[in-house]
Amino acid sequence: MSDSKTGAGLRGQSAGQTAICTVGAEGNSLRYRGYDVRELAEKTNFNEVAHLILKGHLPNSVELAAYTNKLKSLRGLPEPLRAVLERIPKEAHPMDVLRTGCSFLGNIEPELTFSEEQAVADRLLAIFPSVIAYWYRFSHEGVRIETETDEDSVGAHFLSLLHGGSPSELFARVMDVSLILYAEHEFNASTFTARVCASTLSDMHSCVTGAIGSLRGPLHGGANEMAMAMLEQYDSVEVAHDDVMAKLEAKEKIMGFGHAVYKQRDPRNAIIKEWSRQLSEAVGDPCLYAVSETVEKILMDEKNLFANADFYHASAYHFMGIPTPLFTPIFVMSRVTGWCAHVMEQRANNRIIRPGADYIGPEPRSVVALSDRD
């Protein structure tokens, strides 16, 4: 076997160029088209960031109003798609629902030419919250909801559909920030999946469907769900401390810590952690946040592992009444901006992505006649 890094999941190897995002520059930063994600989370909303990622620049007030209105106009579900969603059982994984919804939309609203790529991207960004909320409310509650709301933001629209009414200002803002933090992350597994698909000159729906499939895996997009599954078992910091120490002693993996690229800290963590703290106070649930802090401290003290963006997202989403199985679909609602931008970038300067491999099989040999193989 050669001394290449293929056994390390291609970490540390460049697979191409992008003008969309840089991860890990200066040690532990994250920038979208040159803007630090911390500043974007403080000074902009998700519609502005989606415009930045997909169109290349932050919008002015006129552009933002037009883009917001356009996204609001694209939230409705076609009747054939509603019919498909109603046939998906409640036991299905919500990521499978989004994967099916995206694929089916490609049948009834196909991307006929690449000149339509921006329109398709906007449609997917607008419709994904409607897809998952419609299926969840129908399969779990037996109700058919209208999926067009007057909420300006994608996050508030999702919460409105899920809970049947406009969210509080705090909830809406936290969702907006969350979507900003998850919007883009360079050549991560799902984005690279989308680019490989795009390099064959496939359609946008196929590229995004493939990306959803990659994000579904627990080593990529499911960490916040698994973190919540652990945290909700603890009713005190003492119980959390003892159990996590036991897990570490047993060499069990604790989800939501460390990162493939960041080496010292995840710049998104401090942002969502502060919002989780504010939510815990607002909903009167100090235990879950305190438990989360305890687990974070243990992992740092014992293993020198920092919490990544997924860890405090678990408690933040829980405080807002979002069912745990819907955590990763929220990731999709955000990351579809990055996926689509990467598909468009790949198409603009395309060469099919077809890497080689280090062969480790048998040496050359000849076929023995069937009668002589005994």
CB atoms within 10 A of CB 73: 11
CB atoms within 10 A of CB 302: 13
**Per-position b or e across 255-291, b if 16+ CB within 10 A of its CB:** bbbbbbebeeebbbbebbbebbbebbeebeeeebbbb
Distance CA 166, CA 10 (A): 44
- Identify whether 259 is a catalytic site residue: yes
Output the six-digit token pair for 240. 């959390």
- Identify whether 185 is a catalytic site residue: no
Contacts of 75 (CB under 8 A, 6+ apart): 126, 127, 129, 130, 147, 148, 149, 157
| Residue appearing with tokens 């687990």 | 295
Amino acid letter at 97?
A: V
**Per-position b or e across 333-364, b if 16+ CB within 10 A of its CB:** bbbbbbbbbbbbbbbeeeeeeeeeeeeeeeee
Please tell me which residue in 310, 313, 318, 342 is annotated as part of the active site. 310
Please tell me which residue in 157, 185, 259, 313 is annotated as part of the active site. 259
Distance CA 160, CA 3 (A): 53
- Identify whether 93 is a catalytic site residue: no
Distance CA 208, CA 369 (A): 47
Please tell me which residue in 220, 241, 243, 285 is annotated as part of the active site. 220
Output the six-digit token pair for 3. 């001394």
Distance CA 267, CA 208 (A): 26
| Residue 272 and residue 310 in contact, taking contact as beta carbons nearer than 8 Å | no
Q: Give the count of alpha carbons within 13 A of 194, CB side only.
A: 29
Catalytically active residues, by annotation: 220, 259, 310
